[in-house]
Amino acid sequence: MLSTIRQQLIAALADGQFHSGAHLAEQLGVSRAAIHNHIEALSTLGLDLYRVKGKGYRLAQPLSLLSADHIGVAERPAPLHLLWQVDSTNAFLLARAKQCRNGEACLAEMQTGGRGRRGRTWVSPIASHLYLSYFWRLEQGLAAAGGLSLAVGVMLCEALESLGVSGLTLKWPNDIYLNGRKLAGILVEVSGQQGEACELVIGCGVNVTMPESMAALIDQPWADLAGEGIAPSRSELARRVLEHLDAGMRDFELEGLTPFVARWLARDQFADTPVKLLLGNQEVIGVARGIDPQGHLLLALPDGTVKRFAGGELSLRPRD
């Protein structure tokens, strides 16, 4: 885990200004040699750090650390766990799901085992992006959870749009794109038995400021808010996302996907576009025709028929 000294060091450097080793050592009550060692260790966490003789240490760009006050933790109707480090925010809530209340959430400065859909790693550098998970117990059971990732995509888009972000689109079933590049992803994990209430953990990852050292680890075109000239604090972004999840999940519990379908279609990344759908080793080509009321992908096949596809281990891509 990230030690208290390293947490304090990150907080001291977060302003993006130069800080001398001597000043940091005095401030944190350790030796200058210890500061040097801790700085070296922080570089492995995805922080871009500079050292200039006679000036000291500084980050390549300021960090927007999460703030309980700015997020409004005290005003929330359910607990909000604000962590420096966790394996994954989804795993944290899943481990305590039986005790969770609707709207309970977890935010972290960094994840060591962030996950995306289909088992992919979600690159999670420290204090750079939004790593948020949200709990909801759906009394209607598993059958009522169909299409949830699409509804959450709409909620997340609307939260970002409330901060002035434009150019957002949705890629079925769970990605958010900004001007044609991936900005955010959603991972919904469900547990429960047929005929009983089910427990939902909704994971949201949003790229805010991608460190240069981490960019090379991503194997697809990506976007971040900073690169588009949009710079909300991560705390303000978290607050807006939580507000939209609170309201959206109440609507979803009452009406399911229905109130979200038109809003999803209005942001469809691949509307009427030639695409290919990867199903394991198989590939299906066609033209994307949006979604049906249950959230299934509609694909117009070369023979003129329209086929529905459910989520799962599928990957939708533009056709070459």
What CATH code is carried by the domain that includes residue 281? 2.30.30.100
Q: Write down which residue in 240, 265, 290 finishes a domain.
A: 265
Contact in structure between 151 and 162 (CB atoms under 8 Å): no
Is 41's pLDDT higher than 90? no
- pLDDT for 123: 64
Residue 44 and residue 73 share a domain: no
Q: Which residues are annotated as a binding site?
A: 88-90, 111, 115-117, 182
Residue 259 and residue 290 share a domain: no
Residue 98 and residue 239 share a domain: yes
Catalytic: which of 182, 276, 307, 319?
A: 182
Told to judge if 317 belongs to the known catalytic residues of this protein, a careful annotator would answer yes
Is 175's pLDDT higher than 70? yes
- pLDDT for 115: 59
Q: Which residues are annotated as a binding site for biotin?
A: 88-90, 111, 115-117, 182
Measure the CA–CA gap between 267 and 180, rounded to whole angstroms: 12
Residue 51 and residue 115 share a domain: no
Residue 86 and residue 110 share a domain: yes
The count of structural domains within the chain is: 3
Question: Model confidence over 205-264: pLDDT tens digits?
Answer: 999 988 766 766 676 889 999 988 887 899 999 999 999 999 999 999 999 999 999 999
What CA–CA distances, in Å, run from 28 to 8, 9, 10, 25, 232?
7, 8, 11, 5, 29
Residue 50 and residue 153 share a domain: no
Contact in structure between 111 and 138 (CB atoms under 8 Å): no
Question: Model confidence over 84-132: pLDDT tens digits?
Answer: 999 999 999 999 999 999 999 999 999 887 655 545 565 678 888 999 9
Residue 76 and residue 161 share a domain: yes
User: Mean pLDDT over residues 197-203, rounded?
Assistant: 96
Q: By C-alpha distance, which of 130, 115, 111 is closest to 209?
A: 130
What CA–CA distances, in Å, run from 112 to 44, 109, 124, 262, 299?
12, 10, 7, 37, 37
Measure the CA–CA gap between 151 and 45, rounded to whole angstroms: 33
Catalytic: which of 117, 240, 267, 289?
A: 117
Catalytic: which of 101, 118, 120, 317?
A: 317
Q: By C-alpha distance, which of 216, 226, 198 is closest to 127?
A: 226
Residue 171 and residue 73 share a domain: yes
- pLDDT for 106: 98
Measured at the CA of 165, the angle between CA 160 and CA 168, to 5 degrees, comes to 80
What CATH code is carried by the domain that includes residue 225? 3.30.930.10
- pLDDT for 2: 82
Measure the CA–CA gap between 11 and 14, rounded to whole angstroms: 5
Is 26's pLDDT higher than 70? yes
pLDDT band at 311 (very low <50, low <70, confident <90, very high): confident
Is 285's pLDDT higher than 70? yes
Residue 252 and residue 278 share a domain: no
- pLDDT for 172: 96
- pLDDT for 211: 72
Lateral strand order in the sheet of 80-86: 80-86, 105-111, 130-138, 198-206, 181-191, 175-178, 168-171
Residue 256 and residue 278 share a domain: no
Told to judge if 182 belongs to the known catalytic residues of this protein, a careful annotator would answer yes
Residue 257 and residue 120 share a domain: yes
DSSP reduced 3-state for 18: coil
User: Mean pLDDT over residues 144-153, rounded?
Assistant: 96
- pLDDT for 207: 93
- pLDDT for 151: 98
Q: By C-alpha distance, which of 21, 33, 1, 316 is closest to 177?
A: 316
Residue 288 and residue 248 share a domain: no
Can you give the residue range of the structural domain that contains 205? 68-265
Told to judge if 117 belongs to the known catalytic residues of this protein, a careful annotator would answer yes
